[in-house]
């Protein structure tokens, strides 16, 4: 019997300049492509399709700054990485910029309820 392992908050993190600055409880990723049809003059149907630019939109929930990230102003952050660790591989979204941030402040910690980010590339690395 094999067990399936899902990422946890210690496995989903944001790094800036190689330093882990925040962890997230969960993430949701949407990849889209600007594809289009290739049409021929006089043809009633397209003769093919062409793949276009790929976009990555990631929504993180319950993001908390950690350790060295406590002095980082996340609103000023740009060109950072999002890393999602799995048992046999990891996914790295790089060239990230935040698109929206929803904050929630308690007495002790700053917690971002949801952070939406866009990334320029996605890479899977075997471990």
CB 61 within 8 A of CB 13: no
Residue 19 in this model has a pLDDT that exceeds 80: yes
Query: Cα(30)–Cα(26) distance, rounded to whole angstroms?
Result: 14
CB atoms within 10 A of CB 10: 10
Band of pLDDT at residue 46, cut at 50, 70 and 90: confident
Higher pLDDT pick, 6 / 55 = 55
Q: Is 117 exposed, middle or buried (0-12, 13-18, 19+ CB in 10 A)?
A: buried
Report the sign of the C-alpha dihedral through residues 117, 21, 11, 61, in that order.
negative
> Half-sphere exposure of 101 toward its Cβ, with a 13 Å CA cutoff?
15
Residue 3 has pLDDT above 70, yes or no: no
Mean of all residue pLDDT scores within the chain: 85
Residue 5 has pLDDT above 60, yes or no: no
Distance CA 114, CA 102 (A): 5
Is the pTM higher than 0.95? The answer reads: no
């Amino acid at each position: 019997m094999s067990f399936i392992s899902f990422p946890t908050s210690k496995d989903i993190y944001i790094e800036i300049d190689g330093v882990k600055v925040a962890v997230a409880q969960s993430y949701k990723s949407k990849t889209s492509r600007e594809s289009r049809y290739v049409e021929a003059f006089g043809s009633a149907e397209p003769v093919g399709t062409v793949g276009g630019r790929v976009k990555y939109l990631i929504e993180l929930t319950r993001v908390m700054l950690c350790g060295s990230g406590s002095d980082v102003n996340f609103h000023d952050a740009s060109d950072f990485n999002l890393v999602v660790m799995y048992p046999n591989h990891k996914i790295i979204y790089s060239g990230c910029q935040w698109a929206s941030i929803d904050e929630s402040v308690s007495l002790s910690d700053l917690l971002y309820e949801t952070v939406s980010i866009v990334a320029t590339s996605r890479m899977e690395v075997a471990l």
